[in-house]
Structure 1
Amino acid sequence: MLIPLSYMLFIFSLLLGSIISISSISWFGAWVGLELNLMSFIPLISVKANSYLSEAALKYFLMQALGSAILISSSFLVPYFFLMSYMLILLALLLKIGSAPFHFWFPQVMEGLLWPQAFTLSTIQKLAPLTLISYLPYMPQLNKLIILAASLSAIVGALGGLNLNSIRKIIAFSSINHLSWMFIAVSASDIFWFLYFIIYSFIVLSITTLFHKLQVFTLSSLIKSDQNKISYPLLISFNFLSLAGIPPFTGFIPKWLLIQLMLNLNLFVPLFFILISSLVTLYFYLRIMIPLFVMVNPSLNFNMKFQYMSLLSMPVVLKTSFNFLGLLLPFYFLLS
C-alpha cells in the first residue's frame, strides 16, 4: 500500500522536529522542534474520519500543549531560579513522554490509535524528550527525581497492564515500564539509554507490524484470528519474550548491561523495583501467548502441519528475526 504524499510530508516534518530538538543549543530551539513534531503527528493520528482517532488526537494535543507551556515558561526562569526551573523542565518532559506519575493520558491515547501510529507514539515520539532529559545538567536533586520517576514507571507499568483485554493498552503500560529502564540509563550513562531505546524500538516495530497485519486489537480477537498457521503464535511469542528481556532473545542484552551498571552504582532499591516489575510484565505477556497454543485453540496440536514462512510477508519475518541477535552474545565472551 502506497503512502500518500501528504503523509510522507508529515512524517518528514515529524522527524525533522525531533532532529531540531535534539540538535538545538537552546531550550527555545528544543521547544520549536517539539512543537513541529507535535503539529506533524496530529494529522498522522487523524488519518481516518473516526471518532476514536479524533478523541486520541485531542487528548494527545492537550497533554503535549500543557507540557510545552511548562517547558518554555520554565526555560525563561533558568537564569533566576536554576534548580527549580530545571526541575520544572524535567517534569514537563516527563509529562510529554507519558512517564509515571504523569502517565494517565498515555494508555487512553494509545487505545484510540491504529498500529502504525501506536508504534510512532511508543518510540519516535519519545526520542526527543529522552534526549533532552539526558542533556540536563547533573545535579543530585535532578538525578534523584529521575530515579524516582523510573521506580514509579516500573510499578505503574507493571500493575497497570494486569487483567487488560486491549492489546494496545498492554503495549502502552509495557512502554511505561520500559521507560523505567531508560531513565536509569539516562541518569547513569549517555550510551546505554540510546542502545536500550534502539533495541526496544525494533522489538516494538516487529510486534506492531505483526498485529497490523493480523488487524487485531484485543486478546479475544487475537485468539479468534488466523491461527491455522502456527507461524503467527510462534512469531508473537518470540516478540513478547524478547520484549520481556528473556535470554537468549535480543531484549535481554540491554537489560543485562543495565543490571550490571546499576549494581556497580549501588542502585539496589531501584533495581529491586525494576526487576519485580519485569516479572509482572512477563506475566501479562504470557497471558497473550499461552491462549494461542493451549487454552482455547484445540486446532494447534502435535498433528498439525507446520505452515511455511512463505505464507507470511517477508518484512514480518525479517523484523522478528532481529529478536535472535541475542544468540550471538556467547560469542562476545569467547572473543573478549
Structure 2
Amino acid sequence: MAFPISYMFFLLTLILGSAISISSSSWFGGWIGLELNMMSFIPLITLKMNSYFSEAALKYFLIQALGSALFIYASCVSISLTHLMFIFTLFALLLKLAAAPFHFWFPQVAEGLHWPQMFILSTIQKLAPMILISYLTVNVILTKMIMISAILSALVGAWGGLNLTLLRKILAFSSINHMSWMLMAISISDTFWLSYFFFYSFISLSVMMTFFKIQAFSLSTIIQSSQTSNFFPLLLSVNMFSLGGLPPFTGFVPKWILIQIMVNLNLFFTLFFLLTSALITLYFYLRMTIPFLLMSSPTMNFNTKTMQLTPTSTLLLIFTSFNLYGILLPVYSLLI
C-alpha cells in the first residue's frame, strides 16, 4: 500500500499537534494542540474513500468535537467552582481517550479503519490526552475518579473482547483494557505510565504490522493464512502473547512493575480488578492464537521457497524480537 505525500503531511501535523499539547504551559495551548491533532487525523482516515472509512471519520469527528466542546465549557465555569471545572476537563479528556465509561465510540470507529490508522488511533492519539490528565493528579478527588475510570476500563476491555471474531474490535477492547493500566499508573506515579505507554506502542506496532502484512481482519483470515505458511502465525503468536502480558514475554514487564508499585501502596482492591481483567483478556488472546497454531502445517517449513524475507518481513522479525526481551526479567530482578 503506497502512501501519498498528503498522508505524510497530515501525519507530521498530527505529531505537531501532540507536541503542542505536551509542551504547552496552559490549558488553552493544550486544547489547540488537541484540535490540530484531530483535524490532521480525519484526512488520514479518509485516505481511501469508501463508506466504512467515511462513517468512521464522521463518528470520530463528532465524538472529538463533543470532547472539545466539553473542554471549552470547563474553561467557562466560574473560578469559584474550580473542582467542577477540573471534573469537566477530566471527562473531556477521558472521552477523547475512549476510557470507560466514555468508551462506546472506540470499537465502532476502529472497525472502519485500516491497520496503520488503527495503530495511530490506539497509540499516538492517546499520548497528549494522557499527559494532560497527568496534570490533574494533584487533586485527590480527580485522582480517585481516574482510578474509578481505570477499574471500569479494565472490566469493559476484558468483557467486551469476549466472543468477538473481528480483529479490529478485539484490539479496540484490548486498547481500552491497557488504558486501565496506564490510567492507574498515571494516578500513582509521575513517569512510569510513559514507560508502559511505549511498551504498549511497540507491542501494538508488531501485532498490527503482522495483520497489515497478511491483510487479516477476522479470525478466519488468520486461520487461512496459517494453512499456507508457518512464519506469520508464529510471529503473531509471540506478539499476541506479549500483548496479553504472558510471562516471560516483554508485555509482562510493565505490568509486573506496576503490580509491585500497587502492592507497596496497598492498592489491593484495584489490583484485583486489573489482574482479573488481565486473565480474561489473556483468554481471548489465547483463543485467537491456539486454533491457527493447531491448524498450521505440521511440518515447520522455513525454506526460501515458502518464505521470502522481504524488507517488511525483516522489520516484523525485529519488532517481534523486542517481545522476547522479557526473558531477561529474572536477570533484571537480580540487579535491582
> Which TM bucket (shorter chain)?
over 0.9
What's the CA shift for 1:78?
6.3
Q: 1:16 to 1:78 in 2, by over 3 A?
A: farther
CA-to-partner distance for each residue in 1:73-99, whole Å, 9 max, x for gaps? 202326231111101100110001101
Counterpart of 2:301 (choices 297, 302, 305) is 305
Q: 1:334 to 1:141 in 2, by over 3 A?
A: closer
**Mapping of residues 8-157 of structure 1, within 5 Å:** 8-77=8-77, 79-157=79-157
- 1-structure distance, mates of 2:132, 2:193: 12
Structure 2 runs not aligned, ≥5 long = none
Q: 1:286 to 1:258 in 2, by over 3 A?
A: same
- 1-structure distance, mates of 2:326, 2:300: 29
Residues 259 and 271, structure 2, Cα contact 8 Å, conserved in 1: yes
Bigger CA drift: 303-312 or 326-335? 303-312
What's the CA shift for 1:310?
4.7
Residues 27 and 72, structure 1, Cα contact 8 Å, conserved in 2: no
What's the CA shift for 1:291?
0.9
Residues 240 and 285, structure 1, Cα contact 8 Å, conserved in 2: yes
CA-to-partner distance for each residue in 1:184-226, whole Å, 9 max, x for gaps? 1000011110000000000000011000000010111221125
What's the CA shift for 1:27?
0.9
- 2-structure distance, mates of 1:275, 1:227: 34
Q: Give the partner amino acid of 1:305.
A: N
- 2-structure distance, mates of 1:137, 1:269: 20
- 2-structure distance, mates of 1:75, 1:27: 9
**Mapping of residues 242-281 of structure 1, within 5 Å:** 242-281=242-281
The residue that corresponds to 1:7 in the other structure is 7
- 2-structure distance, mates of 1:306, 1:8: 35
**Mapping of residues 308-327 of structure 1, within 5 Å:** 310-311=308-309, 313-327=313-327
What's the CA shift for 1:305?
2.5
What's the CA shift for 1:151?
0.3
Residues 226 and 297, structure 2, Cα contact 8 Å, conserved in 1: no
What's the CA shift for 1:227?
3.6
Residues 134 and 186, structure 2, Cα contact 8 Å, conserved in 1: yes
Identity of aligned residues (%): 60
Partner of 2:246: helix, strand, or coil? coil
- 2-structure distance, mates of 1:334, 1:185: 24
**Mapping of residues 165-176 of structure 1, within 5 Å:** 165-176=165-176
The residue that corresponds to 1:204 in the other structure is 204
Residues 147 and 183, structure 2, Cα contact 8 Å, conserved in 1: yes
- 1-structure distance, mates of 2:138, 2:301: 58
What's the CA shift for 1:116?
0.2
Q: 1:278 to 1:26 in 2, by over 3 A?
A: same
- 1-structure distance, mates of 2:334, 2:278: 29
Partner of 1:159: helix, strand, or coil? helix
The residue that corresponds to 1:287 in the other structure is 287
Residues 86 and 136, structure 1, Cα contact 8 Å, conserved in 2: yes
Q: 1:215 to 1:68 in 2, by over 3 A?
A: same
Q: Give the partner amino acid of 1:200.
A: Y
Q: 1:335 to 1:261 in 2, by over 3 A?
A: closer
Partner of 1:165: helix, strand, or coil? coil
What's the CA shift for 1:137?
4.7
What's the CA shift for 1:334?
3.6
CA-to-partner distance for each residue in 1:267-291, whole Å, 9 max, x for gaps? 1111000100000001110111011
Residues 214 and 226, structure 1, Cα contact 8 Å, conserved in 2: no
Partner of 1:14: helix, strand, or coil? helix
What's the CA shift for 1:154?
0.3
User: Is residue 220 of structure 1 aligned with residue 220 of structure 2?
Assistant: yes
What's the CA shift for 1:232?
1.3
User: Is residue 179 of structure 1 aligned with residue 176 of structure 2?
Assistant: no
Q: Give the partner amino acid of 2:317.
A: V
Please report the RMSD computed on the Cα atoms of aligned residues, expressed in angstroms: 1.4
Residues 231 and 307, structure 1, Cα contact 8 Å, conserved in 2: no
- 2-structure distance, mates of 1:238, 1:265: 32
CA-to-partner distance for each residue in 1:56-85, whole Å, 9 max, x for gaps? 000000000000110122023262311111
Q: 1:304 to 1:253 in 2, by over 3 A?
A: closer
Count of residue correspondences: 332
Q: 1:307 to 1:252 in 2, by over 3 A?
A: farther
So what's the TM-score if we normalise by structure 2? 0.95
